Amino acid sequence: MVEDAKKLDKGYHKVKRREGRHQFNVEFYSTSYCPGFRIRNAITGMYEEGVTVGTRDEHLFFVVILATGETGQTPPHLYYDTPEQYERHFNCTVSDDMKERWRERNLKERYRRNMVSEREATRRGHVLVR
């Protein structure tokens, strides 16, 4: 029953992977690459609240474009909370350099959002207590 529901979901995919002699399936959910679409968690398939494709919201996620041809002509875009989450999901390794670049970009975006919300609160006359 759950398998039938997954098959009806256009964003659901299953690919085969091999590690040595062991073959395994990886199931995931892709997000549309069209600007304005809501970002979807690659593992759970849940749509993230208030974050969309084509905006700075993407800097909050580790994004993978699976350009292997296994899922058709349009490569799926996968959104993960961290590079480590992607590594665990696909049983692979992301370089330390790539992880560091992602962390820097992610932290800058989180800092920017914090500053924006503080400015908005100040404009409304609210006092932020830390």
User: At 12, phi and psi to the nearest 5?
Assistant: -85, 135
In a 3-state reduction of DSSP, which class is residue 53?
Answer: coil
Domain ranges of the chain: 2-93
Give the per-residue pLDDT at 71.
86
Give the per-residue pLDDT at 86.
97
Most confidently modeled range among 23-27, 94-98, 121-125:
94-98
Q: Are 80 and 61 in contact (CB under 8 A)?
A: yes
pLDDT digits (tens, 9 = 90+) for 16-47: 988 888 899 999 999 999 999 999 999 999 99
**Other CB atoms closer than 10 Å to residue 26's CB: what's the count?**
17
Pairing mode of beta strands 12-19, 22-29: antiparallel
